């Protein structure tokens, strides 16, 4: 009976992971990947500025292909 107790205690001893174990390396690689993702999320984003003419009451940049005011009344009277 005494022998059985000794062997049980021997089997219960703590097992330590060596630093060369693959499970330890995988955790380190995952931690580095998560840190890189977090850094990428916090990086400033460059957003192009929208044209401010589109946000007023109406679009001021739209118009006919000409921008000259012609007095047709004056032209009609000068022809006569």
Residue 12 belongs to a domain: no
What domain range is 72 assigned to?
52-80
- The average pLDDT across 5-17 equals 65
| pLDDT value of position 43 | 80
The predicted-structure confidence for 18-63, as pLDDT tens digits, reads as follows 777 777 778 888 899 999 999 888 888 888 887 777 776 677 777 7
Residue 6 inside a domain? The answer is no
Structural domains counted in the chain: 1
- What was the pLDDT predicted at 72? 87
Q: Report the C-alpha gap between 23 and 30 in whole angstroms.
A: 11
The reported pLDDT for the residue numbered 36 is: 92
Alpha-carbon Rg for the chain, nearest whole angstrom, is 40
Q: Residue 60: CB partners within 8 Å, gap ≥ 6?
A: 53
**Domain membership flag for residue 23:** no
Q: Does some domain include residue 61?
A: yes
**Confidence band for 10, pLDDT divided at 50, 70 and 90:** low
């Amino acid at each position: 009976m005494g022998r059985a107790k000794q062997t049980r205690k021997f089997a219960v001893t703590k097992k330590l992971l060596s630093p060369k174990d693959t499970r330890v390396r995988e955790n380190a690689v995952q931690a580095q990947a998560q840190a890189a993702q977090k850094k990428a999320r916090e990086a400033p984003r460059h957003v192009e500025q929208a044209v401010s003419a589109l946000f007023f009451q109406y679009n001021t940049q739209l118009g006919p292909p000409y921008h000259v005011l012609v007095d047709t009344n004056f032209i009609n009277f000068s022809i006569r």
